[in-house]
Structure 1
């Protein structure tokens, strides 16, 4: 069953369950039965419609060509607005002038506002947070004479303007200023080496931190324009093409009916990598070489697959968009990216050396596929409210996994280096979502609330929804599929799948208090001779929880022996083994060593040093074993082992191995070193994302280090807030 047809089936199922408001990029669709028509664009786009389809095709083209009157657009948006009922932004032109050296920016917002007649005397309200107003001027009724308003205030994330006038139309010129972020939110400055870049990532609720707007999923600006001044970068891209560059100001083409939270910007001096697929440009920083081949191949495959499935060419997703897709590999920030024509993605996900670990490919290729899928699932089809975001997120991730599966499929079965996408989806998405459901505090993916607070939106979009939504979509897909495309497994695979589900269910039920561990553990012991990833992932996931009850080591001793004999912790070098075997060995060895399993620790110690020069780290450690080997050597070693890793850190250019080393150093049980290491995360020694990863690794490494991390927080609370 093709993904396009599968999505139609899924939406038909959801229609029978509930009515969730969705829309296309222009047309509001009031219920899923209507949105189902949008999915059937396969039969209308780029083809002459037959008589039965001409009405739909004509309606979409009518809207895309913007033949609908301004009055109709204003009326629609007046009805949708949750921030200030009775008000809509007819046009919003933003000019940003960043000062990267000072870490600040100034902005000028020229906003045309329309009010309903029954609210024409009321104040005007915009989303506006963390910014400072320098001045405000207003004109009334579309006139050209500007005056100061009666007053304004900025409280609770809002800019409220008291116009002192009675009119259904106001034009405002708002001069304001703000600070550049460094963590990948809003308008931010990135750093690498001696160079910088500027980026803007507004999803889901950061537009309010860059310019006054309606930072809400319910209502767009009828026209949105972005200008950027004062930058001197070789490359600059946003949602739309550059319209002009005059006097140091880059003006991007205005976009009709655009949602501020979906806008993005990248400005940089990175090098373009040649990619075969038309209109896709992949950028990496200078000094990084021979790490882009796999990702370039993946981008070509994913882009082609998503275009074919949706029958929606990328350059036709949104009328007036920048037709080229700019993908930027950045070393310092890991944030999901939703803007239309730009993608900023963390280096460890996409820059892979020859012989890269299966664990990196598993995570990185999927992150890349998801980033590309958001071009279609988020623009061609978008939610009417955050409550229906789960549909978009679920469809996008499911489509991404299908693209990933195709890229990792060899029809001949001869290429053992490919990953099993179905096994990964089962373990990393479906079973992960079930694991989360074992906690009573888990947030539902639907809520009865209608006023969506910012904290709730962030938690919702970036939380369990990422796993639960695609899990639901895939299970619905399996239920409705009329083919066996998704259940063609060997008998051995079926047994492993069933066993992994039994283990996962038993331990989830025990964790929730529904059955005792004396019931669950005998089921777990049935995996003694298993070597499949889905089984061991289920086991390790739950054993991490049981560590605090001192049960993990006993279970490791009783379950890992068979795998150790079958796969060993000391595989032969230069042997082309299956990627899933490497993935399982790395997963189990890391868990076993952290659980103080002696044979694992002995193997890690043997691997750590170069057999020909014990003053350096062994460069031939199998890639998927490095997390276990590095962490174990630091955990049972001392300053000498740490120094060897710091020396290796200074020699490598690959972001993923760099991350493995930094996280492994957190395994040290030297309290003095851990405190110093955490203190360094408050400065510029490490990239911003690395700082958070180091802290997380310290917290997870041992109870002793957890206590040290809590002590560090209590001592450095103010410094942490300012970092």
Structure 2
């Protein structure tokens, strides 16, 4: 049950909190609306932030989606009518309300809306009304003025397109039993509610929503609230159903969800919470795993936050077409099918982990993000970073045998280091008035927000201790329930918990955290074990890059250092809060030092060469003395320190020498991730073959280890991460030319081609086997994989085949595959980026993908739009291999050609691609010969 203002002390508290929230909103809006001191002559409707004078209280919304196109047309529409009640806070003769791509039915006075006042008051007449497309407003000018303290209602009737653009109220299509079916569904986040109904579409504009959906017989309607009333109705002779829903809690517009489909569901209860998993009828059996883990995850978060789940139900629905991986709509979470559904017959262990971690991520938002919402989009990181961090905790509770919490280091920390080490990175928090346009808002949802946010919050929880972190978090959520807040308030409540628990810190929480949040990048901590000198500096992949963004902290951080000496972990954290300090305990003789134990700190570590040698010696004699996560860290740090010219490249390569003895997943995955950069830079040069020979030499013992463990590939390892490394061994051995591996995959795939109805390849191995077989095969293998992709009824299986089709070494087949992305009946819009970047990831397909993007960029940009196409990942994917002056020039020409239209949410990705390409060119020039010599020396070449 949700917390409500029922008992009198709490009622008083809620009234006070509501008044404080309104005052905060008014202050915020006044600044954004007037342009600060001195005012701003820009017309109110030409500004992207709403003025401060009107606050919504509730909406009554009825929507009627047509699941068939208009007669003699391919156009799908929805109609709707809505009333919003709002309160006037400041006298005004102007109403601005968001509206985008809606057509209004004129009222009896000829205007698109009707305004009435509550009580005995009368509302001013409307003078004029018009749509302002650039700022996405319906502008209503009044003949009189609205009265402060008075409540009004604005009524509208409207029509919108139920397009396939994956934004607002849209349609998703699929085929079942030969019948084409349509789902009407929604994606309001972040600024698409205005595309569905006129609304005050900002996160601080919370209101209560009363939703009614009209839909065809044989379909079911869903929304955030519980179904309250279900009736058969007739409109213009058409028999329909009408479903009304209970009022929502007070919430932001971006969390509204509406779905009409002929889906079915699985259900259970957890305490008083109804849990339902919704999916296509043919896919509903794939929802059992999600159903089984949702209850335990909800229980975990209720305990973690020390606050009951605020709603009566938790619906989760799998959609064939969906832009994001999932969306945390309050009470009705929407997912891509691949992220919610799990079929034990065809889905892999990795698919299973994806399902449980994404469910945990979205359910974490039910409190952090939904119950308490950030005031504006400039602090997206706190919302998404928090959910990303605790998703590992929730998943760990649901699957305690997996050790999934450790994987945050590979999947988030190491991943975001690569982006945050660029001079074109950005801080976690931006100035509020710098994030105004919808495209700028979309740009905030990047790796920095999700993964760096998760990493710094994990670091914070570690040095506070989890109980203290949880106490502060719970107090914060309780105080701001059903309201909005800013990130600095979290530091305040965590500091209160620090004080209550007498935690010893060198500085208050905000002083420690501000440098991590308000400046971009991260430090490298350098330890000289001969002197005990410890220093920090801003880590940049290209040390010659000119950092133009000035920081108030001058790129200095307050750094918690957990460390060990000769295998023994020191209990206390040592704090480095200056550019340089002395720690005599870190002076060593024959011992070695290892810092950032379990990579709980968001920084890299470098050592003097003597300590590196002692670490190498330990790895070669008994690598297990070094903690597992730190073995992965040593590899990742060394390779990136080498790219930054802080250690020799050969030192980084030496961290892989012990891998012939390593059987654990994390160090191997770290090494493969880093060697991947070498392959991207050098696989079109004479270095390629010696590099492949070396990697094959190192992976062969791992391949043989798993052959033995699995009784000649007939069993599956028991341990979660062993299953991952089992795949690594097979994929890497095949890719680097181990004939025994290639013979295996060829045989397995051939058996499937001979008997398409019986795929005996284990789901864990399918991605690796499919790719290897398609790469080694002919057009026959490719066509077979394509036919299986088209026939796949399980989304995760389709995804594996979709990736494998890009593994071909036949350029004609790759060109054909790229062309399919322009045809939504062959490749769904949501998958187009994945296909193009997968082809670019293939050394044979790289230039084809880049040429394709350049040729069709205008079409992609205009046809798909921000709601359905991830331009940022597209740019990153097709430019990942760029390492020559010619490629840099091509990229510059491309940017120049399209600079007038801009790059939307990919603008930052374009800057980062340019910076990376320049750094890659220098790296190749400086390292190619040395790398060639090293690989050759290791294989006798």
Verify same fold: TM over 0.5: yes
CA change 1:72–1:561 in 2 (3 A) is closer
CA change 1:325–1:493 in 2 (3 A) is farther
Residue 447 of structure 1 corresponds to: 430
Deviations, residues 82-119 of structure 1 (Å, cap 9, x unaligned)? 421333234433332222323222333323444444x5
**Alpha-carbon distance between aligned partners in 2 of 1:438 and 1:75, rounded to the nearest angstrom:** 40
Residue 636 of structure 1 corresponds to: 776
Residue 33 of structure 2 corresponds to: none
**Alpha-carbon distance between aligned partners in 2 of 1:343 and 1:541, rounded to the nearest angstrom:** 32
Match of 2:53 among 70, 76, 86: 86
CA change 1:183–1:371 in 2 (3 A) is farther
- 1:302 aligns to what SS in structure 2? helix
Residue 344 of structure 2 corresponds to: 354
Residue 661 of structure 1 corresponds to: 801
Tell me if structure 2 keeps the 8 A contact 1:203–1:338. Answer: no
**Alpha-carbon distance between aligned partners in 1 of 2:280 and 2:99, rounded to the nearest angstrom:** 34
Tell me if structure 1 keeps the 8 A contact 2:81–2:156. Answer: yes
1:199 matched to 2:185: yes
Residue 678 of structure 1 corresponds to: 818
Matches within 5 A, 1:557-596: 557-568=696-707, 571-591=712-732, 593-594=734-735
Tell me if structure 2 keeps the 8 A contact 1:149–1:161. Answer: yes
Residue 470 of structure 1 corresponds to: 454
**Alpha-carbon distance between aligned partners in 2 of 1:706 and 1:164, rounded to the nearest angstrom:** 61
Unaligned runs of 5+ in 2: 30-48, 70-75, 107-111, 234-240, 468-570, 572-596, 601-621, 865-941
**Alpha-carbon distance between aligned partners in 2 of 1:696 and 1:287, rounded to the nearest angstrom:** 30
Tell me if structure 2 keeps the 8 A contact 1:26–1:63. Answer: no
1:151 matched to 2:126: no
Residue 365 of structure 2 corresponds to: 374
- 1:439 aligns to what SS in structure 2? coil
- 1:275 aligns to what SS in structure 2? strand
- 2:793 aligns to what SS in structure 1? coil
**Alpha-carbon distance between aligned partners in 1 of 2:138 and 2:146, rounded to the nearest angstrom:** 19
**Alpha-carbon distance between aligned partners in 2 of 1:657 and 1:183, rounded to the nearest angstrom:** 24
- 2:144 aligns to what SS in structure 1? coil
- 2:259 aligns to what SS in structure 1? strand
Residue 236 of structure 1 corresponds to: 221
Residue 167 of structure 1 corresponds to: 146
Tell me if structure 2 keeps the 8 A contact 1:97–1:228. Answer: yes
Match of 2:64 among 88, 97, 121: 97
Deviations, residues 532-587 of structure 1 (Å, cap 9, x unaligned)? 12112212222332222226535523532332232249842135543322211213
1:549 matched to 2:681: yes
CA change 1:112–1:614 in 2 (3 A) is closer
Match of 2:391 among 373, 389, 400: 400
Q: CA deviation at 1:141?
A: 5.2
**Alpha-carbon distance between aligned partners in 1 of 2:115 and 2:287, rounded to the nearest angstrom:** 53
Q: CA deviation at 1:76?
A: 5.9
Tell me if structure 2 keeps the 8 A contact 1:184–1:334. Answer: yes
- 1:150 aligns to what SS in structure 2? strand
Length, aligned pairs only: 651
Q: CA deviation at 1:260?
A: 0.8
TM-score, normalised via structure 1 length? 0.80
CA change 1:528–1:105 in 2 (3 A) is same
Q: CA deviation at 1:272?
A: 1.7
**Alpha-carbon distance between aligned partners in 1 of 2:89 and 2:292, rounded to the nearest angstrom:** 52
- 2:845 aligns to what SS in structure 1? helix
Residue 510 of structure 1 corresponds to: 642
Tell me if structure 2 keeps the 8 A contact 1:92–1:110. Answer: yes
**Alpha-carbon distance between aligned partners in 2 of 1:547 and 1:591, rounded to the nearest angstrom:** 13
Q: CA deviation at 1:342?
A: 0.5
- 1:101 aligns to what SS in structure 2? coil
**Alpha-carbon distance between aligned partners in 1 of 2:387 and 2:745, rounded to the nearest angstrom:** 40
Unaligned runs of 5+ in 1: 1-23, 28-44, 46-56, 410-417
**CA RMSD across the alignment:** 3.6
CA change 1:559–1:112 in 2 (3 A) is same
Tell me if structure 1 keeps the 8 A contact 2:265–2:284. Answer: no
Match of 1:519 among 634, 643, 651: 651
**Alpha-carbon distance between aligned partners in 1 of 2:763 and 2:396, rounded to the nearest angstrom:** 22
**Alpha-carbon distance between aligned partners in 2 of 1:71 and 1:426, rounded to the nearest angstrom:** 42
1:184 matched to 2:131: no
**Alpha-carbon distance between aligned partners in 1 of 2:792 and 2:356, rounded to the nearest angstrom:** 22
Tell me if structure 2 keeps the 8 A contact 1:502–1:523. Answer: yes
Residue 434 of structure 1 corresponds to: 417
Residue 327 of structure 1 corresponds to: 316
**Alpha-carbon distance between aligned partners in 2 of 1:70 and 1:469, rounded to the nearest angstrom:** 29
Residue 48 of structure 1 corresponds to: none
**Alpha-carbon distance between aligned partners in 1 of 2:331 and 2:648, rounded to the nearest angstrom:** 52
- 1:450 aligns to what SS in structure 2? helix
- 2:146 aligns to what SS in structure 1? coil
| Greater relative contact order (CA < 8 Å, ≥ 6 in sequence) | 1
CA change 1:181–1:68 in 2 (3 A) is farther
CA change 1:665–1:109 in 2 (3 A) is same
**Alpha-carbon distance between aligned partners in 1 of 2:429 and 2:292, rounded to the nearest angstrom:** 37
**Alpha-carbon distance between aligned partners in 2 of 1:59 and 1:545, rounded to the nearest angstrom:** 60
**Alpha-carbon distance between aligned partners in 1 of 2:466 and 2:190, rounded to the nearest angstrom:** 37
**Alpha-carbon distance between aligned partners in 1 of 2:824 and 2:631, rounded to the nearest angstrom:** 47
Match of 1:625 among 765, 786, 804: 765
Tell me if structure 1 keeps the 8 A contact 2:703–2:729. Answer: no
**Alpha-carbon distance between aligned partners in 2 of 1:721 and 1:527, rounded to the nearest angstrom:** 48
Tell me if structure 1 keeps the 8 A contact 2:224–2:258. Answer: yes
CA change 1:429–1:26 in 2 (3 A) is farther
Tell me if structure 2 keeps the 8 A contact 1:536–1:588. Answer: no
Residue 495 of structure 1 corresponds to: 627
